[in-house]
Structure 1
């Protein structure tokens, strides 16, 4: 009797089955588990309680039940068809020489749910740890006392120490003492963003930007995360999205001239070194193209290329432009200060064009920067390390400027490590026609001259002295195309100064007044020609489609509203 009471009130589900698997009895917990009346349950066998895929394990359990106990995890079904994950254990009993099997059934659905949650937590923890350790910015987790708990790989690389060396130490040992933003984060829970910081180092100072976010647990401040990124990385991003990149290479220099080939050879040698380069040449000879080509072929090609025209900056602003300034350095200084071109070019190349126009007082500062590889922003006393390759250019004879007292001799020697002289166009006449054809091919509307016209054009181009060099030749080609409209370019489309040379050498040739206009007037003339052609096309299509605006718009590939607008502009009656 006591055994029966124990069976009926056992805290887990229990079934009594025979050796064939037929259910002989079930306790109260089993009826609750399977959501079934006892009379209905006793009509079933134990195999029908399992889903198809788990019946074989039950067969195997019954076969060995006479020898040993066995535990398996399977899925049973309730009377309503709900799957129930269970743990099944069988135990053989021998009553009056009959073998009865005690079938323990334990509902493990809650345990499995907990296991799923635990697996998910482990997965998320693994993902978050992986994200933290491999994020591109440095990250340091500190407790409320400012002690370092965790440091990711980027921060270890930036600060030059491992997690084991830093863990447990105060963050102030690495980021400096008395940083108000970090103190405010840990004491008051105040976050901060993009604060510039100069971190002292054994070999060199580290210029970085830091941000901090506090974290809480149950409303209690538990510490914070400090993010840091070297300022060079931020400058690289700025340069990338503001176009401070080199777009020319040595392949872009069009020439057949021996003197230019020598200059290119010397420039390629300069690209493989880290020495300063001085480019000398007249205005328009392509000094910046050479500078960009040197950068593109150097080990710094993935870094920024920052160009500064020293002659175009007012002398009172050139210092702040090159070296930057801090907030409050002068009236009108931007809040938070501003980095200079040296900082923006760090890791790459700084091209100083028209270096001969730099004021003497700034030449002293430039010399110091080139020697020490550090800059000091205007209004600040801290030095910021910069890693910059400097290429300078001038259209003056820089040594004559030194002799005249307009340029420092020590700066001249510092800049003039590798000197490259770029010859003017008049000294390499073999390039003139090559460049003319090249520039003409680059203009979509440009049409090559007829053979008889080409001879006269080539003669005039060769006889001209080209004071504006390649830049002037490019403008001449553009002007000729605008003047010619849809026709091939000819002698009459040359500017007056070039056309006169043809008039003097070709008997019977007369000047054409239209070519006396400037290049800006030529562009206006070209625009007027295009508009007249467009007006004629609209009138022709309107006649062809009998005034159907939709068909005209479809033929021209524009909207109907565009046709109506152009008809109004060109005063076309429908």
Structure 2
């Protein structure tokens, strides 16, 4: 070989070597630019290439992987099992769920063959599926919670409380069940009832329920808001007037609400706003069962049951001289205090789902809550009680952009209350939350209590007991 020929061949080899280096550099840049993790092993299952995403996703460094046999990594517990070993054994593309240092990954191993059909390399693509499993778990929790409360509402309809539910009262808390029990008992008699509770707790609904479940249900039911009628008109509206009793009076006269409610029920809402002079006349009706119209000269016997309600503390008003003590005692024969929503947290989820379904039907929509929304609802104080919840849920349904209503759709005040609620939780409550989430995730992944218990490191019987205690149904 001549000198010129030798120089030419060296030039060609150098050029080929440079091209190969350049190609390898480009290939390396392509592999590192992948968002998903990529790992390459040779025919002996020894790691030779891994990209930056692998370390980012798993925390495993090149020093731990490159030049190491995959069986070593399995034995050391760095990876749960090796897709490379499976591909080399089965000589085909394989997909598994792999755990690498606690990170759950979906791994696909692809064999690379030479011209003789022999596997020379295995390329593994890895994707982090922990977020997917979390979302899957949360979706399952939402579905379970929704079904639970809808089933409870349906079950409640079938039981003795059906009519109470249909009258608008939805409850499962022990506090409200006690109130419902008392309301049902008192509906069977004619005793005067005083409903007390904050604005929006449902006093009017209870008054309706008591009337509808009473022996007077087929008779008139008259509602009067004492705060909504001007003081000068309230007397004539309640007691009626004779013709010519005052300027502008109807020529024929007019019966008042007491006469109109004959045989039935008169509901006096916001009774604490009634002027003192009218309280005297109301007291006479309760004592004598008779009224006298304005401008009249004779009394009219009435047979009316009185239910009154107030969001103000009448006993405090009595002490201040703003409400008559004798009238208070007459109205307070059967007091029923309706607790605010913040004192009956167990009622929040069923109420929320009830209003959600009601609004969906109203607007022909199919919105649903993310599980965290219910958690935020339970942490909130609800100063406007049930009325506030109903109005908020309607607003969320009609204004949210997607089918799922998330915490991002909630007003900012809910975030503040959620943070405060977390601080208020006991250690036991926090532990139960963590246990519940871990059990649901394990059951979703492993399907059986035996496999889920093994994953959690507890016995099967212990897992079953925990699921019963935490009311987890899979």
Larger radius of gyration: 1
1:482 aligns with 2:401: no
Equivalence for 2:143: none
Residue 388 to residue 365, structure 1, CA distance change in 2 (3 Å):
same
How many correspondences in the alignment? 256
Residue 503 to residue 280, structure 1, CA distance change in 2 (3 Å):
closer
Between the aligned partners of 2:211 and 2:286, the Cα distance in structure 1 is: 18
Equivalence for 2:268: 352
Equivalence for 1:254: 170
Taking the TM superposition and a 5 Å limit, the aligned residue runs for 1:64-83 are none
* Larger helix proportion of the pair: 2
Residue 460 to residue 494, structure 1, CA distance change in 2 (3 Å):
same
Return the structure number with greater relative CO, CA threshold 8 A, min gap 6.
2
**Cα contact 2:356–2:368 (8 A) shared by 1:** no
Shift of 1:482: 1.1
Q: Which of 447, 470, 475 in structure 1 is aligned with 2:366? A: 447
**Cα contact 1:283–1:469 (8 A) shared by 2:** yes
Equivalence for 1:304: 220
Equivalence for 1:323: 239
What does the per-residue CA deviation read over 1:289-340, in whole Å, with 9 as the maximum and x for residues that have no partner?
A: 1111111111101001110011111111110010011221111112211111
**Cα contact 1:309–1:353 (8 A) shared by 2:** yes
1:392 aligns with 2:311: no
TM-score (norm 2): 0.52
Between the aligned partners of 1:390 and 1:504, the Cα distance in structure 2 is: 42
**Cα contact 1:492–1:499 (8 A) shared by 2:** no
What does the per-residue CA deviation read over 1:215-268, in whole Å, with 9 as the maximum and x for residues that have no partner?
A: xxxxxxxxxxxxxxxxxxxxxxxxxxxxxxxxx952231001101111111111
TM-score (norm 1): 0.43
Indicate the SS of the match to 2:232: coil
Shift of 1:495: 2.6
CA RMSD, 1 decimal: 1.9
What does the per-residue CA deviation read over 1:70-110, in whole Å, with 9 as the maximum and x for residues that have no partner?
A: xxxxxxxxxxxxxxxxxxxxxxxxxxxxxxxxxxxxxxxxx
**Cα contact 2:292–2:300 (8 A) shared by 1:** yes
Residue 256 to residue 328, structure 1, CA distance change in 2 (3 Å):
same
Where in structure 1 do 4 or more consecutive aligned residues deviate above 4 Å? 499-506
Equivalence for 1:434: 350
**Cα contact 1:440–1:446 (8 A) shared by 2:** no
Residue 504 to residue 419, structure 1, CA distance change in 2 (3 Å):
closer
Shift of 1:505: 9.0
Q: Which of 266, 276, 295 in structure 2 is aligned with 1:379? A: 295
**Cα contact 2:373–2:405 (8 A) shared by 1:** no
Which blocks of at least 5 consecutive residues in structure 2 are unaligned?
Answer: 1-161, 423-474
Between the aligned partners of 1:496 and 1:306, the Cα distance in structure 2 is: 40
**Cα contact 2:242–2:254 (8 A) shared by 1:** yes
Indicate the SS of the match to 2:397: helix
**Cα contact 2:270–2:311 (8 A) shared by 1:** yes
Equivalence for 1:366: 282
Between the aligned partners of 1:390 and 1:250, the Cα distance in structure 2 is: 20
Residue 316 to residue 458, structure 1, CA distance change in 2 (3 Å):
same
